[in-house]
Amino acid sequence: MSRRITRRDLGRLVGAGALAGMASRAVSGGPVRRPGVVGLAPLTAGPGGRLDPVAARTAMAGALVAATGEPTAERAAAALFGPGDTVGIKVNCLAAPRLSPHPELVEALAELIASAGVPPDRILVFERSERELRKAGLPPGTHARFRSVGIERDWEARPAVSGSIGSCYARIVSRRCTALVSFGVVKDHDLAGVSAGLKNWYGVIHNPNKYHDDNCDPFVADVVNHPWIRDKLRLTVLDGVLAQCHGGPAFRADATFDLGLVAASTDPVAADAWAWKVIEAERKRRGMPGLEAEKRPPRFIATAASYGLGVGDPAKVREVRA
Q: What are the beta bridge partners of residue 147?
A: 124, 142
In terms of Cβ atoms closer than 10 Å to its own Cβ (0-12, 13-18, 19+), residue 48 is exposed
Among the listed residues 294, 292, 290, 195, the one whose alpha carbon sits nearest the alpha carbon of residue 248: 195
In terms of Cβ atoms closer than 10 Å to its own Cβ (0-12, 13-18, 19+), residue 7 is exposed
Contact 25, 316 (CB under 8 A): no
pTM, 2 dp: 0.91
Per-residue confidence (pLDDT) for residue 322, from 0 to 100: 95
Contact 104, 79 (CB under 8 A): no
The tens place of each residue's pLDDT in the chain, 322 residues long, gives 333 334 334 344 333 433 333 333 333 468 999 999 999 999 999 988 889 999 999 999 999 999 999 999 999 999 999 999 999 999 999 999 999 999 999 999 999 999 999 999 999 999 999 999 999 999 999 999 999 999 999 999 999 999 999 999 999 999 999 999 999 999 999 999 999 999 999 999 999 999 999 999 999 999 999 999 999 999 999 999 999 999 999 999 999 999 999 999 999 999 999 999 999 999 999 999 999 999 999 999 999 999 999 999 999 999 999 9
Per-residue confidence (pLDDT) for residue 47, from 0 to 100: 87
- CATH classification code of 37-321: 3.40.50
Contact 240, 7 (CB under 8 A): no
The CA distance from 42 to 117, in Å, is 27
Per-residue confidence (pLDDT) for residue 21, from 0 to 100: 35
Distance of CA 85 to the CA centre of its chain: 19
